[in-house]
Amino acid sequence: MMGYRTGLLLLTLCWAGVDGQTLTQSEPVDKKPAESHRLTCTASGFTFSSSWMGWIRQAPGKGLEWIATITHNSGSTYYSQSVRGRFTISRDNSRQQLYLQMNSLKTEDCESRHITIYHCDDYFDYWGKGTTVTVTSDTPQAPTVFPLVQCGSETSDTLTLGVLATGFTPASLTFSCATASGTNLPDSVQYPAVQKDSYYSAVSQIRVKRSDWEQNVSCTVGHTTGSKTVHIGPTPVPVQRPTLNVLGSSPEDESKGSFSCFAIDFSPEKHEITWLKNGQEITNPISEIKTPAVSRETENGPVYSTASYLNVSELTEGDILTCLFEGSQINENKSVTYKKPTGVGPTPCPPCLDIKIKPISLEDMFLNKKAELICEVTPKEGVSVEWQDENGQVIVASRNLSESNGKSKFAIIDVLYEEWSKGIDYICVVEHSDLIEPKKEPYRKSEYVFVTNSCWDHAMETDQDSMGSTALTFIILFLITLLYSIGTTAIKVVMLLKARASPDTDIM
């Protein structure tokens, strides 16, 4: 069951409303029964040493109750019967401060929910804003703190942040926020605590610059059980290092070079690419072009890719050109060494590879239930060849051979009839040191003609030759039959004529 609570608030009012005349009071406080506490009220803007001062309290829903008064020179003090012997009023004119020492606090010191507001006053001419004093026998319970962030308005220069504190007791609570550099943020709005069962909840909100929020804002909740701090800022972006590829080429002028740097799949987007020569930043290139970052979505969020193209002069053999990638949280670099061109004319482009897939022998397939599938690559220098299945897995049974004349390289696999009849795809993968990415040539069994696309013309020529031979054979057979029929008919006619001339001759 919730224990008794006493809250005391001491105010200072400015009856005449004169500018610059203020009474500043202590912060709210929570106390247990029988404990002591001293309230302080600091005056400014009027002659404190010639003014009688006093304390007045007010419980929620109740009227004002006079507590104590002290004369200007501390010569006399006056107390209400309810606090006599326990409360002591005093003053220090040199500091312009008024005090109220409260001893043996008890629940009878306030009404209602045991929260009272104590005001200090200058003989009713000036009033302080009040100090809330809570007296409770409950065991203090620390608040659970949650950060709050405004939804939407992503392009606005300012946004609203908040802090929610729940499940605490006693009710007194303070909120304060500061930037990442420690600068306090003013003008926060704190709403009164709301009670549910035996515990309280409260919320505070503040308007901040987006730039401060992006660097994280720290909000602290103060309570009798201690303080708790939450950090409010953007959701952290997953960090992913880029894959860097650096390429270089040399024109006819031996002192100039062109270089490309590709940064692939990095996160977050913020980055900078800088070119270095022998460890020093290049500040006077012939030209430098940087492409905007292009994004693509992954299961972990967006990743970005970009490129930088550099033309530079005053190069000598052995100079090291470095592409330095600087992200918001990561740095990467990759270098190439400049070499003078070895021949006349521009440096040749990556090799033009001729990739041919020799079709499966149907005769071998039907007779032996397997056949060789061959990928031929020309030229073979600097080339590696392998077969992969349709899932991109390397076929380990692949064999590599080179022609005796040294022009081509082969990758050979044995394809079983069961695999071939199912129409499984195979991919010939060719890698070269001058290629940015491998070249791939697929092989797929045709539904109608068992040849690859690269051999379609050859198959058609073979079929056409076969059809010509068949047609010629039919023509020859037709002519032989025709001649035989003509010869037979002629013989019969001659024999018939002879029979008529000689009636005794039998006609067969």
DSSP letter string, 389-402 = ETTS-B-TT-EEEE
The per-residue pLDDT for 43 is: 86
Q: Is residue 348 part of a domain?
A: no
Instruction: Choose the weakest-confidence range: 78-82, 164-168, 248-252, 309-313.
Output: 248-252
Q: For residue 29, what pLDDT band results from cuts at 50, 70 and 90?
A: confident
Instruction: Indicate whether 308 pLDDT > 90.
Output: yes
Structure-model confidence comparison of residues 198 and 123, the more confident one: 198
Q: What percent of the chain has pLDDT over 70?
A: 77
Mean pLDDT of 284-297: 90
Q: Please give the structure tokens belonging to residue 250.
A: 């040399």
Mean pLDDT of 187-216: 87
Mean pLDDT of 294-316: 90
Q: Please give the structure tokens belonging to residue 121.
A: 């006053």
| Contact assessment for residue 450 and residue 357, using Cβ atoms and an 8 Å cutoff | no
Q: Is residue 76 part of a domain?
A: yes
The per-residue pLDDT for 108 is: 63
Q: Does the pTM exceed 0.85?
A: no
The reply to whether 376 and 492 lie within a common domain is no
| Contact assessment for residue 142 and residue 169, using Cβ atoms and an 8 Å cutoff | no
- Top mean pLDDT of 4-18, 48-62, 176-190, 481-495 is at 176-190
Structure-model confidence comparison of residues 164 and 500, the more confident one: 164
Q: Is residue 237 part of a domain?
A: no
The reply to whether 328 and 358 lie within a common domain is no
The per-residue pLDDT for 505 is: 47
Identify the CATH number of the domain in which residue 216 sits. 2.60.40.10
- pLDDT tens-digit profile of 234-257? 887 888 899 999 988 776 666 788
Q: Is residue 347 part of a domain?
A: no
Q: For residue 9, what pLDDT band results from cuts at 50, 70 and 90?
A: very low
Q: For residue 109, what pLDDT band results from cuts at 50, 70 and 90?
A: low
The whole-angstrom separation of Cα 299 and Cα 304 is 14
The reply to whether 111 and 74 lie within a common domain is yes
Q: What percent of the chain has pLDDT over 90?
A: 24
Domain boundary among 282, 311, 337: 337
The reply to whether 321 and 385 lie within a common domain is no
Mean pLDDT of 447-454: 44
The per-residue pLDDT for 171 is: 82
- pLDDT tens-digit profile of 124-139? 566 766 767 767 666 8
Domain count, the chain: 5
Q: Is residue 94 part of a domain?
A: yes
Q: Is residue 417 part of a domain?
A: yes
The reply to whether 132 and 14 lie within a common domain is yes
Cis ω before 186 (30° cut-off from 0):
no
The per-residue pLDDT for 100 is: 92
| Contact assessment for residue 460 and residue 479, using Cβ atoms and an 8 Å cutoff | no
For residue 83, the one-letter residue type is: V
End-to-end CA distance of the chain: 140
Instruction: Indicate whether 307 pLDDT > 90.
Output: yes
The per-residue pLDDT for 402 is: 66
Mean pLDDT of 310-318: 87
Summary mean pLDDT of the chain = 78
- Give the DSSP H or E segment for 443: strand 439-443
The reply to whether 322 and 376 lie within a common domain is no
Instruction: Indicate whether 367 pLDDT > 90.
Output: no
The reply to whether 372 and 490 lie within a common domain is no
The reply to whether 16 and 118 lie within a common domain is yes
Parent domain of 462: 457-508
Estimate to the nearest angstrom the gap between the alpha carbon of 313 and the chain centroid: 39
The reply to whether 13 and 78 lie within a common domain is yes
Strand order in the sheet with 184-185: 184-185, 174-178, 217-223, 226-232
Domain boundary among 183, 203, 232: 232
Q: For residue 450, what pLDDT band results from cuts at 50, 70 and 90?
A: very low
Spatial CA neighbour of 314 closest among 271, 344, 280, 365: 280
Instruction: Indicate whether 10 pLDDT > 50.
Output: no
The reply to whether 474 and 414 lie within a common domain is no
Instruction: Choose the weakest-confidence range: 53-57, 91-95, 269-273, 436-440.
Output: 436-440
The per-residue pLDDT for 343 is: 52
Q: Is residue 256 part of a domain?
A: yes
Instruction: Indicate whether 363 pLDDT > 90.
Output: no
The reply to whether 314 and 401 lie within a common domain is no
The whole-angstrom separation of Cα 191 and Cα 208 is 18
Q: What b/e readout covers 178-211, taking b as 16+ CB neighbours within 10 angstroms?
A: ebeeeeebeebeeeebeeeeebbbbbbbbebeee
Domain boundary among 104, 136, 168: 136
The reply to whether 158 and 217 lie within a common domain is yes
Q: For residue 309, what pLDDT band results from cuts at 50, 70 and 90?
A: very high
The whole-angstrom separation of Cα 235 and Cα 216 is 10
Structure-model confidence comparison of residues 240 and 187, the more confident one: 240
Q: Is residue 79 part of a domain?
A: yes
Cα-flanking dihedrals φ and ψ of residue 455, to 5°? Answer: -110, 15
- Top mean pLDDT of 22-31, 172-181, 184-193, 474-483 is at 172-181
- pLDDT tens-digit profile of 392-437? 888 876 677 766 566 788 888 888 888 888 888 888 988 887 777 8
